[in-house]
Structure 1
Amino acid sequence: MLKKIESRNMGSSNLGWLRSKFHFSFAEYYNPDNMNFGVLRVINDDLVEAGTGFDTHPHRNMEIISYVVNGELTHGDSMGNKNTITRGHVQYMSAGTGVYHSEHNLGKEELRFLQIWILPDKKNYKPNYGDYKFNWNDRQNTWLHMVSSKDGNAPIKINQDMNIYSLELEKGKEISFPVKEGRQAYLVQIEGSSIINHILLADRDGMEIIEEDISIRSEQTSHILILEMKKQD
């Protein structure tokens, strides 16, 4: 089963310094029929003006992934971590029993990043932070496995049965991705456009995939993220 989600039908917000597309209910966008996709609770496609950002605020019992599309994202938290990541890099924080953090754009250009929240497999883990500066070329025309469960083999491991892959597919090329029985996946067409099992996705569109293998053909060079997980009844 495939379900296309057009970006123009997503929730949105414009705070001036922050402009967002919400794949699922968040902040002032509330849709009881669009609260989550399995253990995937939030994907916010955020545009953050230079010199602004999210000041220190709390989180608990959530696995939080930040994926930078363009610009610089600087993280700080109550565990003493501080680091800056750029295009194609990933930041991970397990909020667990509770943590305070901030996220700012200290660069000179607009920041675009995907803010992803995943429900953990149990509550009250010890808080944890990590980041990984992936080589951009490692996702060119192939799936780059960035995030997995603690039992998986990706560089970043989270407290949930979730795999996250990124891809840059050159114009005119094709690639497949299996979504096996008992599994589901959420795809974000971050940049470019592609045809997925005969369905056209434009930049910032999304797609729900349940127990169906997909074939992707790039209409324009395509930057794609896939979050694959256990199917939820």
Structure 2
Amino acid sequence: MLKKLNKENMGTSNLGWLESRFHFSFAEYRNPANINFGVLRVLNDDIIHANGGFGTHPHENMEIISYITQGEIKHKDSMGNEEILKSGEVQYLSAGDGIYHSEYNASSTEDLKLLQIWIVPPQRGLERLYGSHRYTREQKENKLLNIVSSQEGNAQIKIHQDVNFYVSLLDENKSLDYKIQKDRQVYFVQISGTSAINGIDLNDGDAMEIVDEKNLNIQAINDSHFLFIEMKKA
């Protein structure tokens, strides 16, 4: 089953310093029929304007991935981590029994754009984790790059939950195939450009829920940047 999710039907918010598109219920966007997709609880497409950001706030029992697509983010947390991450970098945080952090646009002139993704951990009170990794453009050009996996997986970034994140920069008219294992499902996000997923077009900002499919054929209609999350079937 392929369920296309048009960006025009997603929740939105504009706080002045922050513009967001919510794939699932979050903040002021409340939809009881749209809480999660398997262990994927939050996927926010955020634009943080110059000098804006999230002040110090808590998280617990959630695994948070930030995929930065434009600009720079300044991170500081109660574990003693402090760094600036740039476009192409991936930040991960497994909050365990509790952590405080702040996230700000490091620029006074340019927008920061990122996908903020929350994954429900396999159990509560797991070890807290924090880190980041910079992936090069060459690693994801016209190929699938596994940027996040479970502890047993092969990605540079490893979290507790049994998930895999993949990204790609796919040139116009190029295609990729991905085999979906039995009892697994996929959430697909078109970051920019247009792709055809098993023949169904997704434009920038659109998404797709993919269940009970054996294979994904991804065709770039024009230069395409996308991310998808593979997980156990709910």
With structure 1 as the length reference, what TM-score do the two structures score? 0.98
Q: 2:179 corresponds to which residue?
A: 178
Deviation digits for residues 106-127 of structure 1, max 9, x if unmatched? 1131011000000000101132
C-alpha displacement of 1:53: 0.3
> Are the counterparts in 2 of residues 74 and 104 from structure 1 also a CA contact under 8 Å?
yes
Secondary structure of the residue that 2:36 maps to in structure 1?
coil
Q: What one-letter code is carried by the residue in structure 1 that aligns with 2:42?
A: V
> Are the counterparts in 1 of residues 149 and 155 from structure 2 also a CA contact under 8 Å?
yes
Deviation digits for residues 87-117 of structure 1, max 9, x if unmatched? 2210000001000001100113101100000
Distance, in Å, in 2 between the alignment partners of 1:211 and 1:142 is 24
Q: 1:225 corresponds to which residue?
A: 227
Q: 1:199 corresponds to which residue?
A: 200
Q: 1:82 corresponds to which residue?
A: 82
Residues 1:187 and 2:195 are matched in the alignment:
no
C-alpha displacement of 1:165: 0.7
Q: 1:146 corresponds to which residue?
A: 147
Q: 2:111 corresponds to which residue?
A: 110
**For residues 20-169 of structure 1, what are the structure 2 equivalents within 5 Å?**
20-107=20-107, 108-169=109-170
Runs of 4+ in 1 over 6 A off after TM superposition: none
Q: 2:8 corresponds to which residue?
A: 8
Secondary structure of the residue that 1:220 maps to in structure 2?
coil
Secondary structure of the residue that 1:137 maps to in structure 2?
helix
Structure 2 unaligned residues grouped into runs of 5+: none
> Are the counterparts in 2 of residues 180 and 211 from structure 1 also a CA contact under 8 Å?
no
With structure 2 as the length reference, what TM-score do the two structures score? 0.98
C-alpha displacement of 1:177: 1.4
Distance, in Å, in 2 between the alignment partners of 1:12 and 1:217 is 28
Percent identity (aligned): 53
C-alpha displacement of 1:34: 0.5
**Segment of structure 1 superposing worse, 17-26 or 173-182:** 173-182
> Are the counterparts in 2 of residues 90 and 132 from structure 1 also a CA contact under 8 Å?
yes
> Are the counterparts in 2 of residues 191 and 204 from structure 1 also a CA contact under 8 Å?
yes
- Report the number of matched residues: 232
Distance, in Å, in 1 between the alignment partners of 2:148 and 2:209 is 19
Distance, in Å, in 1 between the alignment partners of 2:201 and 2:224 is 12
Distance, in Å, in 2 between the alignment partners of 1:128 and 1:216 is 33
